[in-house]
Structures are given as structure tokens and as C-alpha cells.
Amino acid sequence: MKISFSKSFLAFGAAFLVMFTSACMNSSGERNADPKQGILSLDSGPLLNKGEIKIHYYLPAGKTADMQLQFVMHGAGRNADDYLEGWKARADEYGLIIIAPELTKESFSSEEYIGGRFLAPEGDIADPASTTFSLIDRIFEFVRDELKLQNRTYNIYGHSAGGQFTHRFMQFYASPYVDKAVAANAGWYTFPDDEAEYPYGIKGLFHDSDSLRKGFYSDNLTILLGTADTIRDKDLRQTPEADLQGLTRLERGEQFFDYNKARAEETGFQFGWQKVYVPGSGHDHTIMSPAAADFLYGQMGLPEMR
């Protein structure tokens, strides 16, 4: 278990509505002659109370039983359709099922997205089933049933705001399904630091923060950084607390990785993370997405620094 609070999951009492889908493979994972793309809709349920969640998906040609399932988390623009498009070529190349949830600004504030609704309004740690993080496993189970897939695990990638979501998802939510995670070009981070106040740290939130760190450090997590993501643009948080992490997204990602690697070495905890660079890329998901796919599935040997 990653963390010390309850791991109860949301009961599946909500009715599921299919907005759009096309005929897919049967439960034996038969070969799909042509690529298939569509949108499913999942009721967010009474605990989240966010209405219907659109789920963009892409199934390349091939036998689905042989395909891995890849979640793609969009940035602050909430443009899940664009992110899906950015993965389609690599999905065809590597045989990947792409799932891109759309968490709209109308339903999810910035904090409810990037912070996952980790804290309840009164400031206590929320029931995991009421967090935005819980949607990922629910979507996985729902899509697996609707598209008749056989996957038992998934990988997750997020860029920018999606990178923020992804690293907090791995830190604060104990999914039984997630395998590998890639957090790309996140604007700022929540450090598992007992001295810094949330959302920059975890001061006062856990009775046993070492258990949190031990689980987090053992994750297969990659911090993916564009070497040219060095612009302090208007979308970059520039609070004093964020600037302590570095002045650019590149610096902040490096500091987040280096801090946690050093902490793991001090405590003797297993450290499963990697820090990987995409040469020449700025804050551009159209470059970072294929690079992430190549790293996860093609093992293209992107520059790495531990």
C-alpha cells in the first residue's frame, strides 16, 4: 500500500451511457481489420458529481489481445482530442490502445484536475473514491467492458497539466492496475516533503509519510523533460513556492527528480524512477507525445540522466 489512508474504491452503482462507439472486437480479442476511433461517455457518479465524462479512444488495426492500453492525460487546454491525435501514429506503429479522458474546465477547475481533489474542502485527505484520481481506474474498467478488451494493466502519460495530474496520481492514489507512468513537462510539483505545506509539500497530512515515500519511490515513473522547455510564459506558475523548485519547467523537473532520488538513497528505499530528456523540445505535446511512446514501447534510447 502506498499511503496510510483508506483504499476503499467507489462502488459501481452509476449507470453508464454510451454516447458513441463503433463495432469492435469480441471478447476473444479478434483481429480488427481497420482502425476504430470514437467517444464513450461515463457518468462520474454521486461522489464526484461531475456529470458525464467524455472518453476519446483509438483502436489500431490488429489483435487487441496483443495490445497494451495507454492513458493520455491532456494539458490545461483540456484538448483530449488533440492529444489523442498526437498518439495515433505511434499507436499504429506499436499496437497501442489509446484512451484520452476529457476533463472539461466547466466540470473540473484547475485544482480539481491537477490536484486530483486530493484534499476535502475542510482540508483533510479526501476519500480516494471522491478524488479525480479515482476516475482513471473507473474509466479503465468501463472501457475494458465496453470495447471488450482483455487488458489487466495500463500505462499513463500526461503532459503539462496532465504531467501534474500524473505525478500526483502516482503519489497519492493506489491503483491496482497502473504499470508505468510518464509525467512530461509538468509546471510544478508536489514534493513528498514534510517541511513544505500542501500543495508544494505534504506537511502535516500523513501519520506515516515514510510509507508514502516508500511506495511512491518504488513506482515505475519517468520524469520526461524537454531540454528547451525554459520559457517563463504566462501559463507557468510563478509563486515564490513554485520558484523554489526552479525558474523553468525544465529546472523544476530536474529538481523534483534529484530531490527524490537523494531522499530514496538516504532512506534506503528502492527507487524505480527515470529522468529522460527530449532534445530540443519546448513545451510542445506534439513532440513530447511521440517521444514518450518511443521511450515506453520502442526503447529508442532517449538521453537519460539519473
Residue 168 lies in a domain: yes
Residue 8 lies in a domain: no
Condensed to tens digits (0 to 9), the pLDDT of residues 6-21 reads: 333 333 333 333 333 3
Specify the pairing of strand 52-59 against strand 96-102: antiparallel
Residue 107 lies in a domain: yes
- Give me the pLDDT at residue 291, please: 97
Mean per-residue pLDDT of the chain: 90
C-alpha cell at position 25: 472486437
Radius of gyration of the chain measured on its C-alpha atoms:
19
For residue 278, CA distances in Å to 27, 226, 230, 247 come to 38, 5, 13, 19
User: 306 pLDDT exceeds 70?
Assistant: no
Asked if residues 285 and 293 have their Cβ atoms less than 8 Å apart, the reply is no
Mean pLDDT, to the nearest integer, of 286-300?
Answer: 92
Condensed to tens digits (0 to 9), the pLDDT of residues 273-285 reads: 999 999 999 999 9
Asked if residues 275 and 252 have their Cβ atoms less than 8 Å apart, the reply is no
3-state secondary structure 24-41: CCCCCCCEECCCEEEEEE
Condensed to tens digits (0 to 9), the pLDDT of residues 90-103 reads: 999 999 999 999 99
Total domain count for the chain?
A: 1
For residue 210, CA distances in Å to 125, 222, 272 come to 17, 21, 16
Condensed to tens digits (0 to 9), the pLDDT of residues 100-133 reads: 999 999 999 999 999 999 999 889 999 999 999 9
Residue 11 lies in a domain: no
Condensed to tens digits (0 to 9), the pLDDT of residues 38-78 reads: 999 999 999 999 999 999 999 999 999 999 999 999 999 99
Residue 5: pLDDT band (50, 70, 90) is very low
- Give me the pLDDT at residue 303, please: 52
pTM: 0.89
The whole-angstrom separation of Cα 129 and Cα 85 is: 30
- Give me the pLDDT at residue 265, please: 97
Residue 13 lies in a domain: no
Residue 85 lies in a domain: yes
Residue 25 lies in a domain: no
Domain carrying residue 201: 34-298
The whole-angstrom separation of Cα 18 and Cα 42 is: 7
CA 203 distance to own-chain centroid? 23
Residue 27 lies in a domain: no
The CATH number given to whatever domain includes residue 62 is 3.40.50.1820
Residue 34: pLDDT band (50, 70, 90) is confident
